[in-house]
A = this chain, B = another copy of it.
Amino acid sequence: MPPSPIRIEEKFGLFSDRWSPRVVAELNDYQVKLARLEGEFVWHRHDETDELFLVIGGTVEIAFRDGTVRLSEGEMLVVPKGVEHCPRAQEECRVLIIEPRGVLNTGDAGGDRTAEADVWI
């Protein structure tokens, strides 16, 4: 059998909680995740890896210590490794995230906003 297509909107229809990335595919040792963002997250950094965000729907602001980047549908950002950031979304934003397998959403910060890693949908 050939590999299966992954329909992004269909996958988003399968969960509604915020800040809990779901894995939808793997590319070598990288994972493609979908997440719903709403409200303000926590400041954190990933010391071992860059992190790619691609907005599927809505708008998210990613705050950095030296400025804020606003991303809407069809826009992408790579957060460099080791750089502190804090995502915020006034209304729900749907994003695709790519990073190595096992990366935690809260990076170095930890705490109660930390979602379980490697949860597939």
Q: Which A residues form the contact surface with B (CB < 8 A)?
A: 1-9, 24-28, 30, 32, 49-52, 56, 62, 64, 66-71, 74-81, 83, 98-100
Q: Using known A-B contacts A25-B76, A26-B78, A98-B27, determine if residue A68 contacts B6 with beta carbons closer than 8 Å.
A: no
Q: With the chains together, A104 CA to B55 CA distance in Å?
A: 27
Residues of chain B within 8 A (CB-CB) of A80 are: 3
Which listed residue (B2, B51, B52, B56) contacts A67, Cβ 8 A?
B2
Q: Using known A-B contacts A1-B67, A25-B52, A52-B25, determine if residue A77 contacts B6 with beta carbons closer than 8 Å.
A: yes
In the assembled complex, the CB of A80 is this many whole angstroms from the nearest CB of chain B, namely: 6
Contact assessment for B71 and A5 in the assembled complex, using a CB-CB cutoff below 8 Å: yes
Measured CB to CB, the nearest residue on chain B to A49 is B28
Q: With the chains together, A2 CA to B51 CA distance in Å?
A: 14
Contact assessment for B77 and A3 in the assembled complex, using a CB-CB cutoff below 8 Å: yes
Contact assessment for A74 and B7 in the assembled complex, using a CB-CB cutoff below 8 Å: yes
Q: Using known A-B contacts A28-B49, A52-B25, determine if residue A8 contacts B66 with beta carbons closer than 8 Å.
A: no
Measured CB to CB, the nearest residue on chain B to A65 is B2
Contact assessment for B3 and A28 in the assembled complex, using a CB-CB cutoff below 8 Å: no
Q: Using known A-B contacts A32-B52, A52-B32, A98-B98, determine if residue A78 contacts B2 with beta carbons closer than 8 Å.
A: no
